[in-house]
A and B are shown apart, each in its own frame.
Chain A
Amino acid sequence: MAFWRGQKAKSGESSSGSAPDSGVSNGSVSSGSVAISGVSKWTQGLRNLTGGAAVDSPLPLPVSELRRIVDPASLGFTTTADVTPIRGLIGQERAMAAIEFGTEMRAMDYNIFVLGPPASGKRTALKTQLDAKAAKSVAPDDWAYVYNFEEPSHPRALRLPAGRARLLARAMIGAIDELRGIVPALFEGEDFQSRRRAIDATYQAGQEQALEALNKKAAAQNIAILRTPQGFALAPMHEGKVVKPETFNALPDAMRTEKQAQIAALEEELSKILERLPKSEKERRGKIGELTQEMARAAVTAALEDVAAAFADVPAVISHLNDAGEDLVRNIALFVPSGDGEASTEIREPSDAVRDPRYRRYLINVMVGQTAATDTPPPTGAPVIEEINPVYGNLIGRIEHVAQGGSLLTDFLLMKPGALHKANGGYLLIDARRLLLSPFAYEALKRALKACEIRIEPPAETSGMGVVPQTLDPEAIPLDIKVILTGERDIYYQLAEHDPDFLGLFKVQADFDDAIARSPANDLAYAGVIASIISEHKLKAADASGVARMIEEGARLADDREKLSVEIGYISDLVREADYWAGKAGRTIISHDDVQKAVDAQIQRADRIKDRAQETVERGVVLVDTDGAKVGQVNGLAVMQVGQFMFGRPSRITARVAIGQGRIVDVEREAKLGGATHTKGMMILYGFIAGRYAQEVPLALGATITFEQSYGGVDGDSASSTEIYALLSALADAPIKQGFAVTGSVNQWGEVQAIGGANHKIEGFFDVCKARGLTGTQGVLIPQANVQHLMLREDIVAACKAGTFRIFAVSTIDQGIEILTGIPAGDRGSDGTYPAATINGRVEARLRGFAERARSFGKSAGGSPSTDGLQS
């Protein structure tokens, strides 16, 4: 809604309606009339130029449009102690419904992405909802890894009912400890020893008998069996001594031959006896082995029978116990003290089965085990896990290694669970940004979701890079999980655009809004949220004025007086800081002043950069005029953001014109300081100029437009209307009142469009004017469409109310140029031209002059003007 007194004057027409302030009566203008005494000479001059057409003086926005104030009395309570706290969020029905839907869709591709601004309370709300839902769910099964006796590098996964994995682990430790106690005694016991001795005696007796018989036989033949380092040797003997060669050679041939034959025959016999020894020894060992196995089996069966009985209803456990039992029987020697000679007197046995490396393969690695004891009921509820550091290993699990003798070794007990394991059967919350910043983690998560299983493997193996030490390939665990990613909107949209898997896995988006609509009901709901914050943090109660001020600040945070920000984090900070300031002031109730103090203190803590920027303007380092008038120069407005703090800053925009070839040079773009959006705005500017003024006459214009003293880059088109004003001023040679600052985007039709940060921009210029002293002729032009967003500071509202500062809302360039110059913009007449005394008329005349001079120059120089647009 624009505030104009009467109708806009057209050329040749008198204004209709009265203008009380100006004293102009209907119809004619009389210089002697008292009625015109209130009209400035400037305005009168304009009226004369326009043939008596009245110039409508625009009205600034009324105070009520500058800030939407909450009347404390309208809230209907005295303090927040009278308000029912509202836990959770308000105005997020869309998002909460999406979460509800997503958590109930039991499908692996309906995971949830919760998007929204930070501090919107989405994480807290999400966790609260999930906790409530999970509490009613069934507890998921336990999972453990056990040694694979057939393929040790492929540990087996064991599924157990909830709460029983740890019981199984404890039971196995107990069984091993039992074997550690009974096996040594068993093999030292009389039963085993006597049976073993019997076996030894049988085989030894056999050997001894054979050797003894051979000895006797040899002795009967006067042949001795001698021991040598190489074995045995048979020698002819006489009277206990070996017969010397010369004596032997002196014997008759027949005797010698017979003796040699006897020796040879005995050697053969001895050889056969000795050859049988290894086989005999093997048989003996075999018998002892059978005996050992028999004793071992009895002990192992006894040790494991209680475990088997306790887990008889879990076939996988029974199968594993069978395998473990067989292995224990085969390796029963692990439980018998070694004792290998003199040096072994100081052998210390490890204190328990867990620490003894010999028994590791019989233990149970509980990956996911609900805490349970035999005398408590089984656990309930699904897990809700929030992984705050979603690196690859924390997510998927890891296989750890230990260094031993220069090598890296591992076994199934060194496998560690990840968040996917812990949340299996439940919910897993992950911050999307952290996930994406962790190498391999996002891809690993997607793999797990697509395959519906958790497979632990080193990242080097999945990426194909790096050296992979000896590692394991454990059996995968089935995955049934709901993953909820939280993050800002840009992350969601980037993933949706660039990752082909993303939307297929995260089909539910829970979009948290920034703000809710203002309404009496929502104002009260806001009060309920504030009461909840006060209750949660045990703060002082706030009175209605304090709550009202907080609601206003909520609108300010939303940058829209028709909205309230639901970024609960910021509201919570405000409430807590107001509580602090109330305490500092000795108050027991938070009131309006405390909230205002909190707001001011927040700004004060953050606005050092703004102060420095302001200082440069006040000291004239950065040139900004706030009075007088200049041709081709307008105060533009920009918003700076430093961290979370935003502030507005005026910036001089200038335009120079000359005869040219229809090019409007964007200096920022030429200097590569202009962004794409700014360039677009400048092109639109050209479209407007050409569309309005170059239908009959070529545009022989050469113009440059720039942001003076701007070296850090410019983007956005919120200054495009400002740039047009500067250009029109330069073309029309009409000074622009420097007490104004302008913001607004423009389209090719000259319609002023909405921009962002209107409040900060206005405040930025106000602060500069206020520092120099408000004159009453200063103000800001904003797009009409931005009026609904105004939630200006109270001091600006007060200044406007006092008439020392003004805010104007415009819808078209023509409206704006009239305010800025005080000269009517002018409408095109039936002859297609603009009245000469109007801005449009003067611009038209100037451009025609350019075109004619360019043509004459071109004729004399042999060239012709072109109608190129913006320099490309």
Chain B
Amino acid sequence: MAAQTAAPHAAAVHAAMAVAAAFETWVECLLIESPDVLALTRHPFARTVSHAGRIAPLSLEGFAEAQSSATARARNMLRTAGQHSNVRVETTIVQDGITDALARACAIEGPWNLMALAEPVQPKDSRWLCELLAEVNGATGIVCAGTSVGPPARRGSAVLVVVEDIERLPQMLRAAERLARDNAPAAGARPVLLLVAGESAEKSALIDGHLRLLMADMPADPAAPIGIAEAGVAHGTPIEIAEALRRQNAHVVILRCGGIALPANGDAAPLLGVVSSPMLVVR
């Protein structure tokens, strides 16, 4: 998980913990302190503009104190989130850019299976998101939350998989099953819903057909069957796909980077501004 030490976003942290718990792994947190700010404090004219618009001098001491408080708060929050989800959390403070820090961390500790962003992504950040996914070595996906992600109580219960092609479906289904089992209500696991999304009606129908064949051949796990059902077929523009996703009100959405829903060129604003569930974005 990577976070700038301003303030980790609660929904994003929760999503990360939930995924970690589902995959029975632990979470390594990088609290990234910008070296640029540290350098800036040495300038006599350095000032800060607070969120309320107040301008004040920026001193090294003041910055260090504020940084220390923010770091402590972030650590506390992450530790609490980890305890709540029964996930081991280790925190490291680094001074680097995000991508550099992530790359260095991978080099030291080995590549991550999954990367989580502790800050919400803005609608305009889809390209950056995809670039980040491309750059982070080893990670199969990124867990992120948009600016409109709400509390878990307001979300539905299903794990929704956006099926835009068949090749990634088995990988995504495995991830979905893991997420469906973890944190599930005592009465049973969450259902997994498959939303077929294509550029056109014909393409969607084709994907749907392949999906049905694949589902028919897939053996069910007799120990803990997960209910898998089709949520529907959507097609069209990212806006239309995003709306279809929003209506499902899933607990978590699994989709691929660079598809229709989350294009690599930044047109994911409708998705990121509409979907109220955290997302597991896969390569």
Residues of A within 8 A of B (CB): 188, 190, 193, 197, 201, 208, 224, 226-236, 241-242, 244-245, 248, 260, 263-264, 267-268, 270-278, 337-345, 347
- Total residues of chain B contacting the partner, CB 8 A: 47
CA distance A589 to B6 in the complex (A): 104
23 CB < 8 A contacts A-B: A190-B247, A228-B37, A228-B48, A228-B63, A228-B66, A229-B6, A230-B58, A230-B62, A230-B63, A231-B50, A231-B51, A231-B54, A232-B48, A233-B37, A233-B47, A242-B39, A264-B45, A267-B55, A268-B55, A271-B55, A337-B153, A341-B153, A342-B14
CA distance A229 to B48 in the complex (A): 10
Tell me whether B200 is interfacial, beta carbon within 8 Å: no
Contact: A227 with B52, CB < 8 Å? no
Contact: A339 with B49, CB < 8 Å? no
CA distance A227 to B34 in the complex (A): 8
Contact: B152 with A345, CB < 8 Å? yes
On chain A, the residues within 8 Å of B46 by CB distance are 233, 235
Contact: A341 with B70, CB < 8 Å? no
- The smallest beta-carbon distance between B50 and chain A, in angstroms, is 4
Tell me whether B188 is interfacial, beta carbon within 8 Å: no
On chain A, the residues within 8 Å of B58 by CB distance are 228, 230, 233
Please provide the chain B residues from 55 to 88 with a CB less than 8 Å away from any CB of chain A in the complex.
Answer: 55-56, 58, 62-63, 66-67, 69-70, 81, 84
Contact: B37 with A226, CB < 8 Å? yes
Among A260, A276, A341, contact of B45 (Cβ-Cβ < 8 Å): A260
Contact: A267 with B42, CB < 8 Å? no
- The smallest beta-carbon distance between B78 and chain A, in angstroms, is 13
- The smallest beta-carbon distance between A757 and chain B, in angstroms, is 84
- The smallest beta-carbon distance between A250 and chain B, in angstroms, is 13
Contact: A339 with B150, CB < 8 Å? yes
Tell me whether B104 is interfacial, beta carbon within 8 Å: no
Given contacts A233-B37, A233-B40, contact A344 B49 (CB under 8 A): no
On chain B, the residues within 8 Å of A271 by CB distance are 49, 53-55
Contact: B43 with A245, CB < 8 Å? yes
Please provide the chain B residues from 102 to 141 with a CB less than 8 Å away from any CB of chain A in the complex.
Answer: 122, 124
Contact: A274 with B152, CB < 8 Å? no
Given contacts A339-B151, A340-B151, contact A231 B49 (CB under 8 A): yes
Given contacts A267-B55, A347-B153, contact A208 B49 (CB under 8 A): no
8 nearest A-B residue pairs (beta carbon): A339-B153, A275-B53, A274-B53, A229-B70, A229-B66, A231-B50, A242-B39, A235-B40
On chain A, the residues within 8 Å of B37 by CB distance are 226-228, 233, 235
Tell me whether B175 is interfacial, beta carbon within 8 Å: no
Contact: B40 with A270, CB < 8 Å? no
Contact: B42 with A229, CB < 8 Å? no
Please provide the chain B residues from 228 to 279 with a CB less than 8 Å away from any CB of chain A in the complex.
Answer: 246-247, 249, 273-274
On chain B, the residues within 8 Å of A274 by CB distance are 49-53
CA distance A226 to B33 in the complex (A): 11
Interface of A is mostly: helix
Please provide the chain B residues from 25 to 49 with a CB less than 8 Å away from any CB of chain A in the complex.
Answer: 34-37, 39-40, 42-49
Among B34, B45, B67, B153, contact of A344 (Cβ-Cβ < 8 Å): B153
Q: Beyond the given A229-B70, A342-B152, could you list 17 further A-B residue pairs with CB under 8 A, ordered by the A residue number?
A: A208-B122, A227-B4, A227-B6, A227-B34, A227-B37, A228-B66, A230-B48, A232-B48, A241-B36, A245-B42, A245-B44, A264-B45, A267-B55, A275-B53, A277-B51, A339-B150, A340-B151
Contact: A270 with B151, CB < 8 Å? no
- The smallest beta-carbon distance between B22 and chain A, in angstroms, is 15
Tell me whether B204 is interfacial, beta carbon within 8 Å: no
On chain B, the residues within 8 Å of A267 by CB distance are 47, 49, 55
CA distance A343 to B152 in the complex (A): 9
Contact: B69 with A229, CB < 8 Å? yes
Contact: B151 with A233, CB < 8 Å? no
On chain B, the residues within 8 Å of A233 by CB distance are 37, 40, 46-49, 58
On chain B, the residues within 8 Å of A345 by CB distance are 152-153
- The smallest beta-carbon distance between A699 and chain B, in angstroms, is 108
Report the nearest A residue to B97, measured CB to CB. A240
Tell me whether B154 is interfacial, beta carbon within 8 Å: yes
**Most A Cβ at <10 Å: residue of B42, B122, B151:** B151
Taken residue by residue from 141 to 169, chain B's Cβ proximity to chain A (1 for < 8 Å, 0 otherwise) reads as: 00000000011111000000000000000
Report the nearest A residue to B150, measured CB to CB. A339
On chain B, the residues within 8 Å of A344 by CB distance are 151-153
Among B42, B43, B44, B152, contact of A341 (Cβ-Cβ < 8 Å): B152
Tell me whether B10 is interfacial, beta carbon within 8 Å: yes
On chain A, the residues within 8 Å of B45 by CB distance are 260, 263-264
Given contacts A230-B63, A231-B49, A337-B154, contact A242 B273 (CB under 8 A): no
Report the nearest A residue to B54, measured CB to CB. A271
On chain A, the residues within 8 Å of B6 by CB distance are 227-229
Among B4, B43, B49, B153, contact of A340 (Cβ-Cβ < 8 Å): B153
CA distance A278 to B50 in the complex (A): 12
Report the nearest B residue to A275, measured CB to CB. B53
On chain A, the residues within 8 Å of B122 by CB distance are 208
CA distance A341 to B53 in the complex (A): 29
CA distance A306 to B247 in the complex (A): 32
On chain A, the residues within 8 Å of B152 by CB distance are 339, 341-342, 344-345
